[in-house]
Amino acid sequence: MTSEPGADPATGTPLSVRGVSRRFGSVQALANVEFTLEAGEIHALVGENGAGKSTLAKIVAGSIRSDSGSMSLFGQPYRPTSRREGAAAGVAHVRQQLSLVRGLTVAQNLQLGRPGAPAIFNAASARAEVERWSDEFSLSVPAETLVDDMPLAVRQQAEILIAVAWGARLLILDEPSSALGPLETRALIALCHRLRSEGTPILYISHRLPELAELADRLTVLRSGRVIVEGADVRAADLREVATLMIGDVSLLEVNRPEIERGTSRLTVNDLSVSSTQEIGCHGLNFEVAGGEILGVVGIAGNGQDSLAKALTGQAKLASGHVVVDGEDISGSARQAIAAGVAHLHEDRSTGLAAAFSVADNATARHVRSGRFTRFGVRLADKIARHAGELVERFQVRPPDPAARASSLSGGNQQKLMAARELEKNPTVLVAHGPTKGLDPEAAKAMRDRCFAAAQAGGAVVVISADLDEVSDLAHRVVVLYRGRVTDAFPIEDMTSERLGAAMAGLTETMGATSG
Amino acid sequence: MSQLLEATFWSATVAGGLRLATPLIYASIGETFAQRAGVLNLGLEGYMIIGALTSLYVADPTVAPLGFLVGGLAGMALAALMVLLSIRLFANQVVVGFGLTILGIGTTGYIFHVTTDVGGRDRQVSLPSEIDIPLLSDIPWLGDAVFGHSWYTWLSLALVLLAGFVASRTIFGLEVKAVGEDPDAAAAKGVDVLRIRTQATLISGFLGGLGGAALMLGSVGRFQPYLTANRGFIALIVIIMASWSIWGAAVGAFVFGFFEALGFNLNNVFVDVPIEGLNAIPFFVALVILTVSARWARMPRGLGENYVPTV
Ligand SMILES: Nc1ncnc2c1ncn2[C@@H]1O[C@H](COP(=O)(O)OP(=O)(O)O)[C@@H](O)[C@H]1O
Ligand SMILES: [Mg+2]
């Protein structure tokens, strides 16, 4: 051992982070972060999407480097320059998007990247080791099944198992419960308690507050890369206050929202459920949106937004319920949805557009089946280009070149191109998923105006967003999604940080249950 | 026609098949490593032809084994360009790969042209003798078909065993698969993705060069422009047929060689059928196998995609 006198590696503070900062381009992901993980504790790190939680985890794990600041591990200065060094120092990191390598088995993953593993892979002993740890923790992790074929919860258990087998001295779990059901979450909590009792401190990243009350000892709140609360005692903390601190001020800046006349109900969502193996899905949603009304669906990303967007646009098979547009049931049929005038601004522009195709082909894609731009099955290039030219002009796509590739446009212009395609005619229903995400102020304003215009023309608008400013700028009414369910619904005038924070972090549901 | 019923026809075809398969075995084993690591290494034809020319020019004044080795190193040198441009500088793998193939064919043709005196002596090597294994080579039929090959063939078979072991039984083999299937996750587990891809690509260059050298020193003996005649691309087909398995690549290479030899030998039987038609047999068989194997073939998920690390 090379430990300095006076610094006993067994008793030193497991992890101390001092003044760590990290910037990605123009985003300050972490700013001067101070954080301490004590021996024998489960320390929850909470914060909104983009708060910097995963960045901090990766820096501690050694996967990425900080721009400034210092760390120490069990009393020793700690400056990992690679993930391998972090692992060798005993830091285990279970990533948000898991790091079991697909295409390999758990036994193979056990040995991959393992510090000090022999160069020859001994399949039999790796299998035996997986089975031994699996029994030890009463899990059922299969040693020789391909990771691809295992459910998410089992993959996660396998990762924790591998961390323990590697002799982790400190465990980081990044949003481990975000894809788990209630039973699986209980099992995870039990496993964490077991590890804590055996002396492994855990840094547990989450934004689901209810489970933390049961799980964690202390909590730290990050917001926009800054520590807002450091190491508060979870049992003494007011979780509602924590939820409020997490999201910060929601200010109702009046962004000259136009007066819009409210019409009759155009979109009815009735007992809507979508089940999905990869995401949380959504469960028993009910709401109506009138013509001229903008409904904001808020929630931290990954709480069923994708499933809802797909269901509203006919792209998901429904487990139950109906999506009705102007009295017509469009459930599960994208073609019917388009025919009924449903427009969709996809959250991910690279998926929402055919990136390798021209601006003209993208702009006119909704007409592919209409026959308007073909004769005897042959595409009429002139007519397409002329029509696309008009659309590009109307929606101010720059450069105004119908022959340019969609992928060559800037993000803002891709968004305008997607709007040109979807909003050529006034939609009956507009589903706008993160419509201003990542746009500069000018492009963001243009997109907001498109949403207002759709409502003014009598359309029902649903804005799905994890960005609270975006919703407060646009919506007349808000529903909050948490784990695929609606936890609260209110008119925009009633929106406060407290109410929104509690609903987004899942406290409303819990409060509802306990207060009867 | 009656020749088709004779045992010697078939033993000669199997023997010829194995001989023709030898360069393919080297090349496809190496390429399998690169592709398992996620590198779509389309410069293979280039590595082979550089290896072939270099091996001749080294073996002619010295000895064949030295020429063989240096041929491998020449292929590896060309693969180093793939490493630099695609793996380290993130240039499109397909573009760089084809570029290296064209570079290899062009450069070797040029070097051959300027170094051969018009009407003068061609560089030439004598072909290797067959290695007789006492007793085994004397077994009727089997002796003719399977034994009695040059050391290039024997070495290629030993290589298959070694490569199969490395791919499935070593941590390096796991790392290769990991960076080809799921580079992000592999990096998060501490695997240096770019290093492993570099190593796999250099292996592919070395074995591709050896494949070209084996073709030159083992069965042709003198250089001609575009000597490799698409064998690099055939190796690429073999790998798909084999669904990226080492054993499968070896079998696939042999199947190709066998049908190629069958085409040659049938030419002596059916003298009226144009040789071009018979030469097409292996490609026709490949088409059938590719169609069938598409049912189970699973390519490495990250194949052809450059990996850019975040630090
Ligand atoms: N590799 C990266 N490149 C550019 N920006 C990044 C990268 N990783 C994270 N960011 C940005 O840093 C901020 C913090 O991200 P992250 O740590 O993932 O947040 P959290 O885990 O709290 O949701 C976000 O704005 C995110 O967009
Ligand atoms: Mg995160």
Residue B227, domain CATH: 1.10.3470
Q: Which ligand does the CA of A52 lie closest to?
A: 1
- Would strands A294-298 and A460-465 be described as parallel, antiparallel, or unpaired? parallel
> Which residue has a Cα nearest atom 12 of ligand 1?
A29
Per-residue confidence (pLDDT) for residue A513, from 0 to 100: 39
Residue A218 main-chain phi, psi, to 5 deg = -130, 165
How are the residues of chain A apportioned to helix, strand and coil, as percentages rounded to the nearest 5? Answer: 35, 25, 40
* Domain end (from A168, A185, A204): A168
Calculate how far, in angstroms, residue A207's C-alpha sits from the geometric centre of ligand 2.
Answer: 10
Q: How confident is the model at residue A11 (pLDDT cuts 50, 70, 90)?
A: low
Q: Average the pLDDT over each of A58-67, A237-246, B82-91 and give the range with the smallest value.
A: A237-246
Q: Is A22 in the pocket of ligand 1 (CB under 6 A)?
A: no
Nearest CA in chain A to B186: A101
A contacts of B175 (beta carbons < 8 Å) = 112-113
CB-based contacts of A172, cutoff 8 Å, min separation 6: A57, A60, A61, A91, A92, A93, A94, A202, A203, A205
Per-residue confidence (pLDDT) for residue A123, from 0 to 100: 94
Return d(Cα B157, Cα B161) in angstroms, integer: 7
Indicate whether A83 and A198 sit together in one domain.
yes
With respect to residue B4, please indicate whether it lies within any of the assigned structural domains.
no
With respect to residue A362, please indicate whether it lies within any of the assigned structural domains.
no
Q: Average the pLDDT over each of A251-265, A485-499, B238-252 and give the range with the smallest value.
A: A251-265
> Which residue has a Cα nearest atom 21 of ligand 1?
A54
Closest partner residue to A83 (CB to CB) among B175, B182, B190 is: B190
Closest partner residue to A113 (CB to CB) among B173, B181, B190 is: B190
ipTM score for this prediction: 0.88
Mean pLDDT of B51-79: 95
Per-residue confidence (pLDDT) for residue A87, from 0 to 100: 93
Domain of B179, in residue numbers: 12-115+149-296
More confident residue, A382 or B165: B165
Mean pLDDT of A187-194: 92
B contacts of A101 (beta carbons < 8 Å) = 177-178, 181-182, 185-186, 189
| Nearest CA-CA partner of B231 in B207, B197, B247, B199 | B207
CB-based contacts of B176, cutoff 8 Å, min separation 6: B33, B36, B37, B167, B196, B200
Give the angle subtended at the CA of B181 by the CAs of B175 and B187, to the nearest 5°: 55
Per-residue confidence (pLDDT) for residue A32, from 0 to 100: 97
| Nearest CA-CA partner of A62 in A39, A79, A41 | A79
Indicate whether A271 and A217 sit together in one domain.
no
- How many residues does the structure list for chain B? 311
Q: How confident is the model at residue B121 (pLDDT cuts 50, 70, 90)?
A: low
Structure token digits, residue B165: 């072991």
Cα torsion at A98, A101, A107, A112 (round to 10°)? -100
Return d(Cα A325, Cα B304) in angstroms, integer: 44
Count Cβ neighbours within 10 Å for each residue of A135-171 and write b for 16 or more, e otherwise. eebebebbbeeebeebebbbbbbbbbbbbbbbebbbb
Indicate whether A81 and A185 sit together in one domain.
yes
Contact B191 A120 (CB under 8 A): no
- How many residues does the structure list for chain A? 516
* Domain end (from A207, A228, A251): A251
Closest ligand 1 atom to Cα of A58:
17
Question: Does B195 touch chain A if contact means CB atoms closer than 8 Å?
Answer: no
Return d(Cα A351, Cα A354) in angstroms, integer: 7
Q: Helix, strand, or coil here: B222? A: coil
Instruction: Write the burial class of residue A493 (CB in 10 Å: 0-12 exposed, 13-18 middle, 19+ buried).
Output: exposed
Per-residue confidence (pLDDT) for residue A10, from 0 to 100: 57
Domain count, chain B: 1
Domain count, chain A: 3
Nearest CA in chain A to B170: A120
With respect to residue A185, please indicate whether it lies within any of the assigned structural domains.
yes
Contact B170 A99 (CB under 8 A): no
Domain of A146, in residue numbers: 99-168
With respect to residue A176, please indicate whether it lies within any of the assigned structural domains.
yes
Neighbours of A236 (CB within 10 A): 7
